[in-house]
Structure 1
Amino acid sequence: MRLNEKVFSYILFILIIVVNIWLSVSNALFLEHEEVNRFPHAKGYVSDEVWYVNAARNILRNIFNSIPNIDKPKATLIYTSNEDLQRAKSLASLYNINIIYESFTKINAIYVESKDYNNIKVFANKTNAIDVIYGWILADSGDINKYMNFEHP
């Protein structure tokens, strides 16, 4: 094999790898974008396993005190009553809280985002939220924030 053929082979090989990486990353980013943009009508993860996912999150949160580390903090805030929920919705903008999803039907909850975790914590305290679950939106099911399944975490 001559030198030019060898160099060409290496360049072609590297080019194929670079294109493959670029296509893989582009596809992953596209799929992430599609999933995130399913709001405002997203129901969260819906199937029988909805309980398993949230149970695992509750175990991480309640036993290991683990909070997801994401660029723009998001959380599901849960309230005792619909009145508390409506009050929180009306006060959200005063605390620089953006309500992403508010159409829960089985729990009094809103899914919010803010510039930092502390801002969400202050808002939750001021509006009497009974629970704050950071990270991806909580499934729409009664008391799912308390469910812990140690058999299938």
Structure 2
Amino acid sequence: MQDIRKALYVGSRSDGKLIQRPMSPHLQIYRSRLSMVLSISNRITGVVATGGAALGVFWLGAAAKGPKSFEVARKVTGNPVGQLMLVGWLASVVYHTVGGIRHLIWDSGYRYDKAEINKDGPVAVGVTAGVSTALAAGLLAVACGRKRARAKVGKAS
């Protein structure tokens, strides 16, 4: 038998007869494209968003448990590493939402040509960056405002 490891493997038909089937191309075969990277990123951000949601549930649980538990949760989310993780979670949720909207449009039968997909990729990245930045800035402004309000209350008493 000849060496078929190059691009074929031995499979079987439904009647049991052995046949040679082509192997799926590997990532080394394809040239990396933005749409390919965005597709992989959409799956990764789905996992990150789910993990962040679990952390959000723990945070809410700490709030429900009492002041001591909530103070620990605030220390975790209040330090720079915790805040960086929250911004990453926010960006992953936004990107996963944008990717989901793109897929919904494709499933509706629109913008599914290769040229349109390639044009929409940078738009998706830009929308993600803009919305994530706006949300992070808004949350930072709220946090700074609350910190100032607490400082005023502390000075008044």
Output the TM-score relative to the length of structure 2: 0.24
Q: Which one scores higher on RCO, CA 8 angstroms, separation ≥ 6? A: 1
Which structure has the highest helix share of the two? Answer: 2
Which structure has the highest strand share of the two? Answer: 1
Output the TM-score relative to the length of structure 1: 0.24
Structure having the higher Rg: 2
